[in-house]
Structure 1
Amino acid sequence: MSLDTPRGRTKGGGGLPPNLAPDRVEQLKALLRGGLVRPEDADYEESCRLYNAMIRKRPALIARCTDVADVIAAVAFAREQKTALSIRGGGHNGGGLGLCDGGVAIDLSRMRGVRVDPVARTVRVAGGSVWGDVDHATHAFGMAVPSGIISTTGVAGLTLGGGIGHLSRRFGLTIDSLLAVDMVLADGRFVTASEQEYPDLFWAVRGGGGNFGVVTSFLFRAHPVDTVIGGPTLWPVERATEVMQWYREFILAAPEELGGFFAFMTVPPAPPFPEALHLKKMCAVVWCYSGDPARADEVFAPVRALNPLVHGVQPMPFPMLQTAFDALYPPGHQWYWRADFVNELSDAAIAKHAEFAERMPTMQSSMHMYPIDGAVHRVGPHDTAFSFRDVKWAEVIVGVDPSPANAQAITTWTKDYWEALHPYSAGGAYVNFMMDEGQERVQATYRDNYARLAEVKSQYDPENLFRINQNIRPAAKGAAARPH
């Protein structure tokens, strides 16, 4: 991965890498219903655009898949040609890992669709769908699947990394509502993994990312969520220490029906925020209460007692809350991420947070701290690949701006902020908040689940075909099996 936007291959130049046989490329093109994009094609540049514009990748081929047969053909080609293979679902990956340089990118964005079974309370979702697709379909039945906080996020990437968002305290991670996945494996097999079939594989995909194959559809359990009471509460950034000290006690003691992530933010110069607050630095909590509406006043009374400048909490359809940040974070901006899991929010750590909040370099730069207690803690650390079931928060620091001229400023602020706070962390990070940070960080994220993940990897992808990700390397041949 490059963060310096290298020139790479441009449209019309470079041709195929020498390791890719032209006749085999033509065969692949003939097999794909969705089409094959090459560097000489007019839509190649557009097809290479990433959510994070700080990163550029130049695949030799982009396989636009419309069905499972397309995916099987693309995987077979990459395996036979021994070339790099990446998978792009919703395309939201902060590290740009949906594309690769010089290899094959499988693009699932045309495989979108959601089918709700209101009787069984299940939802089947195609692998290229985004969460807005799911929210739209499930809301008609008064249900929701726990996901993130932005509706344009891909279902596949968020789910395979674990899935943290508004409903985590009440219903757990997204993977805790996952019932089964359909997958194309490295050897071309198409399988369904669940607790009953391929249980080792199903264990691994629940937090292990895209390391084990291409997931073409997901089956989720849905939950009764319709209208929620949500929105932001804002205080001046000068009160950061006071508000964070209050928040660390309040949220962990609050009913699990109340989700609320802490954030540092700069007020966007647009409605619904009061004009007097536009471009002011704030500390905030973004709430989502999905419990009994009759108790809402009681639940939020301690929040109002802290005398916020804005208490923008109101009843709204759940999909409305899910889309609240979409306009603020469109694709194509410069992004730099750093993350950690956090167990204790000490006074010393809060002092560091307050210091860097004052120095946010751009309007969209931010720090979010997502509570992951409650239902998340009721699943054991070895029950799924997601290991950090014992911590209280997932923290992410993001430097964001549309202008490449500010890339260095947002990167420096994010790195400095993370380095100042990392000593107070629990170690490891939510994989969906990570850049390309090296093998040591990947292993720290999975802790003692890593050895079992490596064994599953060696069984289903021994040649590490699926390596453009937060990579889990196959276990060494002859390594002793670990107890599960």
Structure 2
Amino acid sequence: MDTVDRLRRQISGTVLTPADAGFEAARRVRNARIDRRPALIVGCRDAADVAAGVRYARERGLPVAVRGGGAHVAGSGTCEGGVLLDLGAMSGIEIEPDARRATVEPGVCWGAFDAAAQRYGLAVPGPRIPSVGVAGHTLGGGVGDLSRQFGLTCDSATCFDMVTAQGKSLRVSADTEPELFWGLRGGGGNFGVVTRIGFRLHPVERVVAGPLVFPLQAAHRILPLARDWLEAAPDEASLIALVWTAPPARLLPEALHLERCVVLIPTWFGDPAHADAVFAPLRSGPQAPVYDGIRPMSYLAYHRLLPEPPNVRQQHVYNRGEMLAELTDATLERLLDRFQRAGPNFSLVFGALGGAIAREPAGPTAYPHRAARWFVEICAQWFGDPRDTRHRAEAEAGWRSLQAVSQGPYGNLLPDPEPEWARAAYGANYARLARLKREWDPDNLFRFNVNVRPEAAVESAKEKVS
């Protein structure tokens, strides 16, 4: 019997080869710049399917890519010539409201998780885009607007169910496998295929938030104002700032669509009665906003504020995030100058960190950038020819201009799988992760990720001896 047919008989999910209908659509991720062809796509419905797919790949010497939400900008959710485990059908969510606990499968995206938890007024710190996968975001550390109160996404993770490189199932927690638990919270998908994540939930109900829009000419005054406002604000406050050509989105009035502008989205998770006082410095600064959309809203409505582009699978994306200890006037001037000279497909996103992130609320994790207080995303997004280098060149020049002040890149926003970028993303934790990789995946079966190479641990050991 053909080995592919044998695999089909072993699993409850699906198996696609390049000759099968549906393969072309199934191999794609949410970045048209990524064009890779796996040898086989296994659509998994449970952990047993995952284990069968891993064993199939190992027996044939094929590497394994893992797709949850498929949103990683470098295209980690597909591969060239390997076995792709598509976990999209593994979409179970269990909420225990009294215990404030959740269990989530890896095909779940944040919009579905938030909706399930919000039925009980609960949430976990997560990204601002609902279509991002829960598993990948968590394994990369995970930052969001709730992080200033409750820490990283991975700080709320209490356990992981995982299929190892040998195809065996394992429960990982601080009690059962403390070192691997450390590595899974921020070390990415390097050590196995996560099939369930347990989370601690936090009480979050209504939010006061919305856009304050300023003309681009005011950016040199407004961005320092927003920075200083956040420095003095309590952890219940957060902020995202965008410098962009505004898309035609419901977030903004139609008159501002396609205009170059600065959009502040300040957020207040505290007592709504105090919101006006909290936001007053932003509203009464040196430049009045041309639009003020701040209002009370549900947490779900808040997470739908930022638009997702239409035809997302046709959009080419080159985005990279840098972690900064401080956001100086000189850094802001450098980035604004870059924006002024770039085209409409270039944008800047500033995100607030600090607060509970720096306090390691759930103990040490592999995520290395606890001391960063700001996140800066340099974005290029375009339609048309993926080989058009103009847009990518602007973004690349933007993040390179930050290297003297960056603590390192954010692993969840690395545009390409460059080995030296992975080292920078994991920082001082890289050698420890490499030792863990050598223990759990010595053949680097799981390499389509922000990859830690197991041989690096050997090199590190040799260096210490010499």
State TM-score, norm by structure 2: 0.94
Alignment of 1:446 onto 2:426: yes
Is the Cα–Cα contact under 8 Å of residues 164 and 370 in structure 1 kept in the other structure? no
Q: 2:306 aligns with which of 315, 325, 348?
A: 325
Q: 1:301 aligns with which of 268, 275, 280?
A: 280
Which of 235, 247, 266 is matched with 1:287 structurally?
A: 266
- C-alpha separation between the residues in 1 aligned to 2:387 and 2:304? 26
Cα distance in structure 1, aligned partners of 2:145 and 2:47: 32
1:462 counterpart = 2:411: no
Q: Give the corresponding residue for 2:384.
A: 403
Give the aligned residue type for 1:200.
E
Supply the distance in 2 between the matched residues of 1:146 and 1:80 (Cα, whole angstroms). 39
For 2:349 and 2:173, locate their aligned partners in 1 and report how far apart those are by CA, in whole Å: 32
Q: What is the SS of the residue equivalent to 2:349?
A: strand
| Distance of aligned partners of 1:462 and 1:268 in 2 relative to their CA distance in 1, 3 Å threshold | same
On the 8 A contact 1:263/1:366 being kept in 2, the answer is yes
- TM-score normalised to the size of structure 1? 0.91
Other-structure match for 1:358: 340
Tell me the C-alpha RMSD between the 2 structures: 2.0
Q: Distance in 2 between matches of 1:173 and 1:329?
A: 29
Aligned match of 1:186: 165
Q: Percent identity?
A: 39
Q: Say yes or no: does 1:42 pair with 2:21.
A: yes
Where do 1:374-385 residues align within 5 Å?
374-379=355-360, 383-385=364-366
- Match of 1:67, as an amino acid? D
Partners of 2:417 and 2:449 within 8 A in 1: no
**Partner SS state of residue 148, structure 1:** coil
Does residue 416 in structure 1 map to residue 409 in structure 2?
no
Structure 1 ranges of 4+ moved more than 6 A? none
Size of the aligned set, in residue pairs, is 459
Give 1:464 deviation, angstroms: 1.0
The residue that corresponds to 1:394 in the other structure is 375
Q: Counterparts of 2:114 and 2:218 in 1: how far apart (Å)?
A: 35
The separation in 2 between residues aligned to 1:239 and 1:173, in whole angstroms, is 32
The alignment status of 1:349 with 2:320, answered yes or no, reads no
Cα pair distance change 1:262/1:381, threshold 3 Å:
farther
Residue 329 of structure 1 and its aligned partner are, at CA, apart by 6.2
Q: Deviation per CA, 1:253-311: give whole Å up to 9, x if none.
A: 21111111222122223445233322111112222211111111111111111211122
Q: How does 1:188-267 map to 2 (within 5 A)?
A: 188-267=167-246
CA apart distance, 1:360:
4.3
AA aligned opposite 1:470: V
- Relative distance call for 1:437 and 1:26 in structure 2 (3 A) is closer
- Once the 2 structures are TM-superposed, how far is the Cα of residue 442 of structure 1 from its aligned partner? 1.3
Rounded to whole Å, the distance in 1 between the matches of 2:253 and 2:418 is: 43
SS in 1 for 2:73: coil
Q: CA deviation at 1:223?
A: 0.6
**1:387-413 Cα deviation digits (max 9, x unpaired):** 111111121111012333784232121
Aligned counterparts of 2:129 and 2:245: Cα–Cα separation in 1 = 18
Deviations 1:331-385 (A, max 9, x none): 211101222111122222111121122244235x421121210000101898100
Could you tell me how far apart the structure 2 residues matched to 1:393 and 1:411 are?
23
Q: Distance in 2 between matches of 1:478 and 1:355?
A: 41
The Cα shift of 1:116 comes to: 0.5
CA, structure 1 residues 374+51, in 2 after alignment: closer, same or farther (shift >3 Å)? same
SS, match of residue 421 in structure 1? coil
Uncovered stretches (5+) of structure 1, i.e. residues with no partner: 1-21
Compared CA separation, residues 248 and 66, structure 1 to 2 (3 A): same
